[in-house]
Structure 1
Amino acid sequence: MAEAVVTVLLENLSSLFQKELGSIIGVDEELKKLSSTFTAIRAVLADAEMKQFTDLAIKDWLRKVEDAALLLDDILDEFSTHDLQNQNQQQKGGWFNKIHASCHSSFGLKNAMFRRRMANKMKRMRETLQNIAEERKMFHLCERIATTDKKAELMEWRQTSSVITQPEIYGREEDKERVVQALIQTCDTERAAVHTIVGLGGLGKTTLAQLVFNDDRITMHFDLKIWVCVSEDFSLKRMIKAILDSASVSVSGNLDIDPLQKKLQQALQGKRYLLVLDDIWSEDQEKWDRLKNSLVACGSKVGSSILVTTRLTKVASIMGTLPPHDLSFLSDED
Structure 2
Amino acid sequence: MGPKIKQINRRLNELATEWNSFDLGPSRRETHSFVNSSDVIGRDKDKENIIDHLKEPSEDGNIPVIPIVGIGGLGKTTLVQLVYNDDRITELFPLKLWICVSEDFDLPRLLKLMILSVNKEENCDGLTVESLQTCLRSLLNDKKFLLVLDDVWNENRARWIELRDLLRSMDGLSQRRSL
Question: Which of 184, 201, 210 is 2:81 aligned to?
Answer: 210
SS at match of 2:46: helix
Q: Hey, what's the Cα distance between the residues in 1 that align with 2:78 and 2:18?
A: 31
Match of 1:160 in 2: 31
SS at match of 1:240: helix
Per-residue deviation, 1:41:
3.6
Q: Does 1:180 align with 2:51?
A: yes
Q: Does 1:245 align with 2:116?
A: yes
Query: What is the 5 A alignment of 1:163-312?
Result: 163-165=34-36, 167-188=38-59, 190-249=61-120, 250-307=122-179
Give TM-score, length-normalised by structure 1.
0.46
Change (3 A) 1:202 1:40: farther
Per-residue deviation, 1:189:
5.1
- Equivalent position amino acid for 2:77 in 1: T
Change (3 A) 1:238 1:252: closer
Q: CA RMSD in A?
A: 2.3
Percent identity, aligned pairs only, is 38
**Partner deviation per Cα, 1:52-80 (whole Å, 9 max, x = no partner):** xxxxxxxxxxxxxxxxx9xxxxxxxxxxx
1:264–1:298 contact (8 Å) kept in structure 2: no
* 192-201 vs 171-180, greater mean Cα deviation: 192-201
Q: Hey, what's the Cα distance between the residues in 1 that align with 2:61 and 2:55?
A: 12
Query: What is the 5 A alignment of 1:7-26?
Result: none
Q: Hey, what's the Cα distance between the residues in 2 that align with 1:189 and 1:182?
A: 15
SS at match of 1:199: coil
Per-residue deviation, 1:199:
1.4
SS at match of 1:181: helix
- Equivalent position amino acid for 1:282 in 2: N
Unaligned 5+ segments in structure 1 are: 1-37, 47-68, 70-145, 308-334
Change (3 A) 1:300 1:267: farther
Change (3 A) 1:41 1:176: farther
Give TM-score, length-normalised by structure 2.
0.82
1:190–1:304 contact (8 Å) kept in structure 2: no
Per-residue deviation, 1:231:
0.7
Q: Hey, what's the Cα distance between the residues in 2 that align with 1:186 and 1:41?
A: 54
Per-residue deviation, 1:294:
0.7
Change (3 A) 1:270 1:191: farther
Q: Hey, what's the Cα distance between the residues in 1 that align with 2:62 and 2:33?
A: 23
Unaligned 5+ segments in structure 2 are: 1-14
Size of the aligned set, in residue pairs, is 164
Per-residue deviation, 1:301:
4.4
SS at match of 1:197: coil
2:112–2:124 contact (8 Å) kept in structure 1: no
Q: Which runs of 4+ in 1 moved over 6 A?
A: none
Match of 2:4 in 1: none
Q: Hey, what's the Cα distance between the residues in 1 that align with 2:17 and 2:128?
A: 39
Q: Hey, what's the Cα distance between the residues in 1 that align with 2:92 and 2:123?
A: 27
Q: Hey, what's the Cα distance between the residues in 1 that align with 2:19 and 2:97?
A: 35
